[in-house]
């Protein structure tokens, strides 16, 4: 049906005429996400007409058709003028049942869901709508409605309430701060997450495990839980920069206990389980390190992964999660760095976690014939990441291995090879080989017999045993050596002049500096000595 005909019927105000036209428009355009430029004005007129019709006292079926048409039209980012007026947002909010003045005024659930979908589209596509929502009572209304026990919301309404709140916190810094501090959003959303997952507490900091015969989480529970995790991530993004008092620490410990439950929970489908774990890992990375010990406090149960008397189930899941993401090999910065950072900080802060990770990732070295980056062990995969093209990825991988080596340069080079380790050592000013003073306890000697026997023959650059080759300089005369040295010097000089490479030298602080900065003072001293002569 032509847009002009649909617009004409909507403008008539007769819902009996408008309803079939709108339903046909929805059926024909339900999968339309790209819009031609020529029909932009007609779509704007249709949006205005449908909003006026929706503002009238029409039946639920007509409300649903109007909102369905508006949901499609609001996908067009460059044509949102009809949806960003105060009147339009007030109309959509009224049908979504959001706001203090509409508390308890829930419409038909399908109508409410369609209105929420429209609001999500408008907020996502329009900065003006985001600002108007921030200035209105929309956030307060959403928080009031999702609070557990306030209303018996359908799963779809609760999900889109959370989706809208996620979009607002993702796109507006002021809303993050408002929800996180003024509205005590962490407390609220922790309660929502607990209710969504139907958490049962074994004690104050341990969630009771799900029974073997219990079905996995339902799809609507999983969807809602992931939206809540995303909102919590947004409002805790700067948590590590703030002081945490005892009351807040207790809250975060409770949240970590629930997040541990999320890590150990499987849902309907491997991909969705991984997605739930991904949002959990992202959020754990925001929380205070002092609260992450809750991951290890649950009692060891039959079938648990135990190490040093601690329950390592959560850390074991994190390692498996990391290895799956590394094996996938795409979008590594987004997919891998949160897990790497979380494991690094946990290992740095908790001795038991570090020793368990070292046992799993860096077991005693026995294979001295293979390069550290070659193989299918997790150590090999992480060493390969140390030379990845993305700076963040290679830094995070190197940092984890460095911490597992207790920030000992000799041990780090032993497991990775000097060539792979050079990047991190240069950044930290450790190219000279001296290790920083750390807060790690002394370990016993873990060198295997295989390593001790081959240690003298291991090439420290490649990190493996290599056959010794004859030194070509042994058969050269002094004139030939001098010729080759000058040839090499001229090659480096040419590359430096063309700015292809920059010769560097090791400064007293262990960091690399341009060679000319080191040589220039020496030249000045030499010239001053000759002048005095």
Q: What confidence tens digit (pLDDT) does each residue in 129-173 have?
A: 999 999 888 999 999 999 987 666 889 999 999 999 999 999 999
Indicate if the pLDDT at residue 531 is higher than 80.
Answer: no
Residue 348 forms part of a structural domain? yes
In a shared domain, residues 274 and 314? no
In a shared domain, residues 319 and 448? yes
In a shared domain, residues 310 and 456? yes
Q: What does the pLDDT read at residue 453?
A: 72
| Residues 6+ positions from 459 with CB-CB distance below 8 Å | 465, 466
| Residues 6+ positions from 243 with CB-CB distance below 8 Å | none
In a shared domain, residues 280 and 388? no
- When mean pLDDT is compared across 32-46, 165-179, 420-434, the lowest value belongs to 420-434
Indicate if the pLDDT at residue 390 is higher than 70.
Answer: yes
Per-residue burial over 337-348, b = 16 or more CB atoms within 10 Å of its CB, e = otherwise: bbbbbbbbbbbb
* Residue 123: both structure tokens together: 């907020």
Average pLDDT score over residue span 415-434: 84
Cβ atoms 146, 192 nearer than 8 A: yes
Residue 20 forms part of a structural domain? no
Q: Tell me how many domains the chain contains.
A: 3
In a shared domain, residues 310 and 434? yes
| Among 253, 279, 295, residue at a domain's last position | 295
In a shared domain, residues 207 and 285? yes
| Among 417, 437, 469, residue at a domain's last position | 469
Cβ atoms 159, 223 nearer than 8 A: yes
Kindly indicate the confidence band of residue 104, based on its pLDDT and cuts at 50, 70 and 90.
very low
Q: Angle of helix 185-196 relative to helix 138-146, nearest 10 degrees?
A: 40
The whole-angstrom separation of Cα 59 and Cα 68 is 14
Q: What does the pLDDT read at residue 99?
A: 60
Burial (CB count <10 Å: 0-12, 13-18, 19+), residue 502? exposed
Residue 177 forms part of a structural domain? no
In a shared domain, residues 349 and 437? yes
Q: What does the pLDDT read at residue 268?
A: 85
pLDDT in tens, 192-244: 999 999 999 988 889 988 776 677 788 999 999 999 999 999 999 888 767 78
Cβ atoms 145, 98 nearer than 8 A: yes
Indicate if the pLDDT at residue 106 is higher than 70.
Answer: no
In a shared domain, residues 367 and 465? yes
Q: What does the pLDDT read at residue 180?
A: 87
What is the extent of the structural domain holding 255? Answer: 184-295
In a shared domain, residues 424 and 515? no
In a shared domain, residues 394 and 444? yes
| Among 295, 326, 345, residue at a domain's last position | 295
Residue 146 forms part of a structural domain? no
């Amino acid at each position: 049906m032509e847009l002009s005909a649909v617009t004409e019927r909507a403008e008539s105000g007769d819902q009996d005429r408008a309803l079939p036209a709108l339903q046909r428009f929805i059926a024909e355009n339900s999968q339309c996400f790209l819009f031609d430029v020529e029909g932009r004005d007609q779509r704007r007129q249709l949006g205005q007409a449908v909003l006026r019709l929706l503002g009238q006292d029409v039946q639920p079926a007509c409300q649903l058709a109007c909102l369905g048409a508006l949901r499609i039209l609001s996908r067009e980012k460059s044509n949102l003028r009809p949806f960003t007026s105060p009147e339009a947002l007030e109309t959509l909010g009224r049908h979504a049942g959001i706001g203090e003045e509409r508390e308890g005024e829930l419409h038909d659930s399908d109508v409410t869901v369609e209105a929420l979908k429209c609001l999500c589209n408008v907020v996502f596509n329009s900065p003006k709508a985001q600002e108007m929502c921030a200035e209105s009572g929309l956030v307060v209304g959403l928080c009031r409605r999702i609070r557990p026990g306030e209303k018996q919301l359908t799963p779809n309404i609760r999900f889109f309430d959370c989706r809208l709140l996620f979009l607002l916190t993702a796109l507006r810094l002021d809303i993050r701060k408002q929800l996180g501090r003024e509205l005590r959003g962490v407390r609220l959303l922790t309660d929502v997450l607990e209710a969504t997952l139907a958490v049962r507490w074994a004690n104050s900091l341990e969630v009771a495990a799900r029974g073997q015969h219990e079905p996995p989480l339902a799809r609507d529970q999983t969807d809602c839980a992931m939206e809540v995790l995303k909102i919590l991530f947004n409002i805790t993004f700067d948590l590590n920069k703030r002081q945490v008092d005892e009351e807040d620490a207790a809250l975060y410990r409770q949240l970590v206990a629930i997040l541990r439950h999320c890590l150990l929970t499987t849902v309907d489908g491997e991909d969705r389980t991984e997605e739930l774990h991904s949002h959990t890992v992202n959020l754990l990375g925001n929380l205070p390190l002092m609260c992450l010990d809750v991951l290890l406090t649950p009692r060891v149960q039959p079938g648990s992964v135990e190490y040093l008397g601690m329950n390592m189930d959560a850390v074991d899941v994190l390692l498996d999660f990391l290895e799956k993401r590394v094996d996938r090999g795409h979008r590594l910065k987004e997919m891998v760095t949160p897990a790497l950072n979380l494991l690094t900080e946990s290992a740095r802060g908790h001795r038991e976690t570090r020793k368990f990770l070292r046992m799993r990732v860096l077991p005693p070295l026995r294979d001295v014939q293979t390069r550290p980056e070659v193989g299918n062990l997790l150590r090999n995969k992480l060493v390969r990441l140390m030379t990845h093209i993305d700076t963040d990825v290679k830094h995070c991988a190197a940092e984890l291995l460095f911490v597992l080596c207790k920030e000992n340069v000799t041990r780090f080079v032993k497991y990775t090879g000097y060539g792979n380790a050079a990047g991190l050592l240069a950044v930290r000013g450790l190219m000279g080989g001296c290790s920083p003073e750390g807060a790690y306890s002394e370990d016993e000697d873990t060198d295997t017999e295989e390593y001790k026997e081959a240690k003298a023959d291991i090439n420290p650059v490649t990190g493996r045993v290599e056959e010794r080759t004859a030194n070509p300089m042994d058969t050269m005369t002094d004139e030939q050596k001098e010729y080759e040295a000058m040839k090499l010097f001229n090659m480096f000089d040419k590359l430096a002049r063309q700015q292809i490479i920059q010769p560097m030298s090791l400064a007293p602080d262990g960091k690399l500096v341009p060679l000319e900065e080191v040589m220039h003072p020496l030249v000045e001293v030499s010239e001053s000595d000759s002048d005095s002569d």
